[in-house]
Amino acid sequence: TDAAGPRLAGAAGDPLAVAWGLGTMQALGLTSVRAEPVTVRVWVRGEERVEVLSPVPHRLAAAALGGSVGTPPGGLEGALVRVASLEELRALAPERARGRSVFVDQRMARAQDGHGYGETVPIRGQSASVAAGLGAIAVLIRSVGTDQTRFPHTGAMRYVEGVPQLPAAAVSNPAADVLARWIEAGQAVRVRLELGAHDGGQAQSANVIGEVSGTDRADEIVLLGAHLDSWDLGRGAVDDGAGCAIVLEVARWLAQAEPPPRRTVRVVLFANEENGLAGARAYAAAHREERHVLGLEADFGDGRAWALRTPDLTERAEPSSISSRWDPIARLLAPMGVVWQPEEPHGGADLGPMHDALPDGAGMPVVDVMQDGTRYFDLHHTANDILTQIDGESLDHAMRAVLADAYAASLE
């Protein structure tokens, strides 16, 4: 976070982060350290200003969503129409939306497993195109985040082909609250958006990769992933500096472990997770023929580990017998307060292209070390995602749970 700062794909911090990753892996004693090129699409935020014109003029704490287009020069003005969910937006009568800005006002629920994110993140991704189909001129959403601070939460959105591309921004939770109070009181709200967001063309980034070489099963890979990029507003400490720290520290331990790993443990710091997943796709394209026996991704901040989710592989043509080994791993983790949940693990966004498809039709098996996400979405994708927020003790706890998994999987 200090060496590269904000590091959105293709921005000034991106090559600094790649250089930091290479140097850190070398210093930790990893082997085969390299940067594998990834072409990324660059998005530039530019200057932005969102303000209420009436009933009480003032500036709102707001941030464009990643991938949004900007407003025309001079900005956009319009009345605000509020809906409580994406479903309500889809059902909105076009005459209520036409020529107006739409405000999608659904609050994200706080939860240990972060499930409130899955419930609300489609609003961030899809509202602009739904509103465009209704004839709206712009979209504001309540931040997808659980805090009560004035920090807006950015994050990726995307446009559907064939409908106009509307500028889209998130307002902080307190800003959403005041908009909601006025509208509930029957007051007409007018807002003005001026967003300088624009496409910045293509740039070169890289996945940073290093290994702890296996012994007699070196051609079998246990993949540990995190992402090197971050959103532009903060410094990417919880998302995903923490995950990078977890997988790098695990690798540092494994490089000194006795007995050494039999399988190769490969650490991948992925490029461009936040704004396109180009790094994940490039990795899968280059490496899908290699024998990946297990993948684990750390992308949930600095929270303590509280659960282990393992795949039920009994009905699948499984290239290894790792599935029969979960029980002893779960026993290792139980004294740390980590419960074993035989629920289907997700693996995470960066492992998706490997998890979803391999040549034999069976994806790379994944395991989830579930981290406590109660506080994660207070900081996620905000200017407040900085190193000062990191709790080293809980981060270390999560690291040890991942270490136990990775070491056991590499030895089996």
Angle at 118 between CA 178 and CA 18, to 5 degrees: 100
**3-class DSSP state of 361:** coil
Strand 101-104 to 76-83 pairing: parallel
Nearer to Zn ion among residue 9 and residue 209 (C-beta)? 9
**Distance separating alpha carbons of residues 72 and 79, to the nearest angstrom:** 17
| Minimum CB distance to Zn ion, residue 229 (Å) | 9
Site residues (CB under 5 A) for Zn ion, limited to 208-247: 239-240
Residue 299 lies near Zn ion (rule: CB under 5 A): yes
Contact range with Zn ion by CB under 5 A, out of 53-61, 98-106, 172-180, 292-300: 292-300
| Minimum CB distance to Zn ion, residue 367 (Å) | 18
Nearer to Zn ion among residue 241 and residue 363 (C-beta)? 241
- Name the residue with tokens 């949004």: 68
Residue 147 lies near Zn ion (rule: CB under 5 A): no
Nearer to Zn ion among residue 48 and residue 385 (C-beta)? 385
Write the Ramachandran bin of 326: left for phi over 0, alpha for psi from -120 to 50, otherwise beta.
alpha
> What would the DSSP string read from start to end of 47-103?
-EEEEEEESS-EEE-EEEPBT---PPTT-EEEEEEEESSHHHHHTS-HHHHTTSEEE
**3-class DSSP state of 374:** coil
How far from 323 is each of 144, 201, 293, 312, 339, CA to CA, in Å?
36, 44, 10, 7, 17
Contact range with Zn ion by CB under 5 A, out of 105-113, 297-305, 334-342, 390-398: 297-305
Kindly state the tokens that stand for 107: 């609050």
Site string for Zn ion, 259-278 (x = CB under 5 A): ---------------x----
| Minimum CB distance to Zn ion, residue 376 (Å) | 10
Contact range with Zn ion by CB under 5 A, out of 22-30, 135-143, 182-190, 294-302: 294-302
**Other beta carbons within 10 Å of 301:** 31
Question: If you count them, how many residues does the chain have?
Answer: 412
| Minimum CB distance to Zn ion, residue 307 (Å) | 19
| Minimum CB distance to Zn ion, residue 141 (Å) | 16
| Minimum CB distance to Zn ion, residue 281 (Å) | 16
**Distance separating alpha carbons of residues 33 and 164, to the nearest angstrom:** 44
Nearer to Zn ion among residue 242 and residue 403 (C-beta)? 242
| Minimum CB distance to Zn ion, residue 233 (Å) | 11
| Minimum CB distance to Zn ion, residue 271 (Å) | 12
Contact range with Zn ion by CB under 5 A, out of 12-20, 43-51, 263-271, 293-301: 293-301
Residue 302 lies near Zn ion (rule: CB under 5 A): no
Site string for Zn ion, 41-70 (x = CB under 5 A): ------------------------------
| Minimum CB distance to Zn ion, residue 38 (Å) | 16
**Distance separating alpha carbons of residues 123 and 141, to the nearest angstrom:** 7
Nearer to Zn ion among residue 78 and residue 279 (C-beta)? 279
**3-class DSSP state of 249:** helix
CA 121 to chain centre: 11
Size of the site for Zn ion (CB under 5 A): 4
CA atoms within 13 A on the CB side of 143: 29
Sheet of strand 339-341: strand arrangement: 339-341, 305-309, 368-371
Q: Return the biggest CA–CA distance within the chain.
A: 72
| Minimum CB distance to Zn ion, residue 311 (Å) | 22
Quick check: 174 and 150 in contact, CB under 8 A? yes
Contacts to Zn ion by CB under 5 A: 239-240, 274, 299
